[in-house]
């Protein structure tokens, strides 16, 4: 969630989980996502979403599915 004080998570991040989310932002948007979550974007999924979803950062509709996880 974008707040007046910057981006905040609405729920805690769990260890050992590979998250999947709609993301269609640029490098600056990716940096916001990674710094806010402490996770790293792993890249596009082989299978896009069937229907457009709202990008987690920009809110733009996209079928791009990204994986996000903690790098050890």
Domain ranges of the chain: 18-69
Domain 18-69 is found in CATH 1.20.1250.20? no
The dihedral built from the CA positions of residue 32, 45, 14 and 23, taken in this order, carries a sign that is positive
Distance, in Å, from the CA atom of 28 to the CA atom of 34, rounded to the nearest integer, reads 10
In terms of Cα–Cα distance, which of 42, 33, 38, 50 is closest to 66? 42
The model's pTM? 0.77
Helix locations, 1-72, DSSP H: 27-37
Q: How far is CA 67 from CA 12, 29, 40, 42, in A?
A: 17, 15, 8, 5
* pLDDT tens sequence across 31-58: 999 998 899 999 899 999 999 999 988 9
Q: Is the pLDDT of residue 3 over 80?
A: no
Distance, in Å, from the CA atom of 13 to the CA atom of 52, rounded to the nearest integer, reads 25
């Amino acid at each position: 969630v974008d707040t007046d004080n910057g981006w905040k998570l609405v729920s805690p991040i769990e260890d050992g989980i590979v998250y999947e989310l709609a993301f269609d932002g640029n490098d600056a948007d990716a940096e916001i996502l990674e710094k806010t979550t402490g996770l790293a974007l792993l890249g596009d999924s082989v299978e896009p979403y069937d229907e457009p979803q709202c990008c987690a950062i920009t809110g733009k509709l996209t079928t791009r599915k990204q994986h996000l996880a903690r790098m050890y």
